[in-house]
C-alpha cells in the first residue's frame, strides 16, 4: 500500500501542472504548455531506468548505490536540460509544430522541471525501499502548494504555471534530499 500511495503521489505531482494549465490557461496557452510538457515528461521518465535497476540495492540500504543513482540521474537531467537549451526550437517543432516555436526559449525550464522530478522519484523510491513512514507525504503537500500558487498567486500564463511547477519541483527535491540524506537519529 505504501508503494501504491507513493506511485499515486508521484504521478499526481508530475501531472498537476499540466492539469492546472488546462484549467487556468486559454486554449492556445494550454496547448503550448502541453507541447512543452513533452520535454518535462522526457526528462522525468528517461532516467527512471536507473531507479528501477537500483531498487534492490536501495532496499538493502546501500548508500553507495543511492549516491551513484543520484549522480547518474543528475547527469542525465543536466544533459537533457542543456540539450533543450541548444535544441529547444527543434524540440518544440517536433512535439507541436511551428505554431509553438515562440515557447522554445522556455524549453530548458520544462526540461529542468522534469529533471528535478526524476530526482524526487529516485528519492521517494529510496524511502519506500527502506521502509520509511509516509514516504510520499511531501509530494502531496507540494501538489496542494502547486495548485494553490498556480490558482491564487501566479499569473495565468504559460510562464506563470511553468514557474510554479519549476519552483515546486525544486522545493520538493530539496525536501526529499533532506529527508533521505539527513544524519540518522540516535
Q: Answer yes or no: is pLDDT of 12 > 80.
A: yes
Average pLDDT over residues 16-35: 95
Does residue 67 sit within a domain?
Answer: yes
Q: Give pLDDT, residue 129.
A: 87
60-63, long-range: CB < 8 A, 24+ apart: 61/130
More confident residue, 176 or 131: 176
Whether pTM > 0.85 for this model: the answer is yes
DSSP per residue over 78-147, as a string?
HHHHHHHHHHHHHHHHHHH-GGGGGGGGGHHHHHHHHHHHHHHHHHHHHHHHTT-SSTTHHHHHHHHHHH
Q: Give pLDDT, residue 8.
A: 93
Q: What is the pLDDT of residues 52-79, one digit of tens each?
A: 888 888 888 888 999 999 999 999 999 9
Q: Give pLDDT, residue 75.
A: 96
Q: Answer yes or no: is pLDDT of 84 > 90.
A: yes
User: Residue 18: which domain range?
Assistant: 2-181
Average pLDDT over residues 19-44: 95
Q: Give pLDDT, residue 185.
A: 64
Torsion region of 114: left, alpha or beta (phi above 0 gives left; psi -120 to 50 gives alpha): alpha
Does residue 155 sit within a domain?
Answer: yes
- pLDDT band of residue 148 (cuts 50, 70, 90) is very high
Please tell me the total count of domains within the chain: 1
Average pLDDT over residues 70-97: 94
CB atoms within 10 A of CB 39: 27
Q: Give pLDDT, residue 38.
A: 94
Does residue 175 sit within a domain?
Answer: yes
How distant is the alpha carbon of residue 116 from its chain centre?
A: 5
Does residue 36 sit within a domain?
Answer: yes
Does residue 186 sit within a domain?
Answer: no
Q: How far apart are CA 58 and CA 52, in angstroms?
A: 10
Cβ atoms of residues 164 and 149 within 8 Å: yes
- pLDDT band of residue 186 (cuts 50, 70, 90) is low
Measured in degrees and rounded to the nearest 5, phi and psi for residue 97 equal 100, 180
Q: Between 27-45 and 2-24, two packed helices, what is the crossing angle to 10 degrees?
A: 150
From 42-46, 77-81, 179-183, the region with the lowest mean pLDDT: 179-183
Specify burial of residue 95 (Cβ count, 10 A radius: 0-12, 13-18, 19+).
middle
Does residue 52 sit within a domain?
Answer: yes
Q: Give pLDDT, residue 3.
A: 85
- Angle of CA points 167, 8, 22, to nearest 5°: 55
Q: For the chain, what percent of residues have pLDDT higher than 70? A: 98
Amino acid at each position: 500500500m505504501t508503494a501504491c500511495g507513493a506511485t499515486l503521489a508521484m504521478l499526481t505531482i508530475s501531472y498537476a501542472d499540466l492539469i492546472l494549465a488546462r484549467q487556468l490557461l486559454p486554449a492556445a496557452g494550454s496547448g503550448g504548455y502541453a507541447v512543452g510538457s513533452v520535454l518535462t515528461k522526457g526528462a522525468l521518465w528517461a532516467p527512471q531506468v536507473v531507479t528501477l535497476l537500483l531498487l534492490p540495492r536501495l532496499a538493502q540500504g546501500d548508500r553507495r548505490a543511492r549516491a551513484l543513482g543520484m549522480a547518474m540521474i543528475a547527469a542525465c537531467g543536466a544533459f537533457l536540460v542543456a540539450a533543450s537549451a541548444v535544441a529547444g526550437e527543434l524540440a518544440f517543432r517536433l512535439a507541436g509544430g511551428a505554431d509553438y516555436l515562440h515557447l522554445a526559449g522556455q524549453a530548458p525550464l520544462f526540461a529542468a522541471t522534469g529533471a528535478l522530478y526524476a530526482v524526487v522519484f529516485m528519492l521517494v523510491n529510496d524511502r519506500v525501499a527502506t521502509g520509511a513512514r509516509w514516504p510520499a507525504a511531501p509530494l502531496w503537500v507540494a501538489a496542494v502548494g502547486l495548485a494553490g500558487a498556480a490558482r491564487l498567486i501566479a499569473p495565468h500564463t504559460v510562464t506563470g504555471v511553468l514557474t510554479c511547477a519549476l519552483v515546486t519541483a525544486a522545493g520538493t527535491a530539496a525536501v526529499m534530499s533532506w529527508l533521505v540524506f539527513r544524519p540518522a537519529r540516535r
